[in-house]
Amino acid sequence: MPHKGCYRKDRREGVATGPAVMEYALAVRSRYRAGGREEKKRILDEFCETTGMHRKAVIRC
């Protein structure tokens, strides 16, 4: 069965690469740790939208 790219929502041009995602994660990490529940939700939504990754993968990152 062919792999459908389940870890990225969109494989087209413009989706963030691995090193770029890690750099972005490092930039957002302190804001995420300091934020409350609602702020964390917004940060995760923003990260998913920006990188094209699934929410669970973003949480692990």
Q: Which residues contact 9 (CB under 8 A, 6 or more apart)?
A: 48, 52, 53, 54
pLDDT band at residue 18 using 50, 70 and 90 as cut-offs: confident
pTM of the model: 0.69
Q: Each residue of 26-44: pLDDT tens digit? A: 999 999 999 999 999 999 9
CB of 43 within 8 A of CB of 28?
A: yes
CA distance 24 to 19: 9
Asked whether the predicted pLDDT for residue 49 surpasses 70, the reply is: yes
Task: State both tokens at 21.
Answer: 């995602």
Residue % of the chain over a pLDDT of 90: 49
CA distance 50 to 16: 8
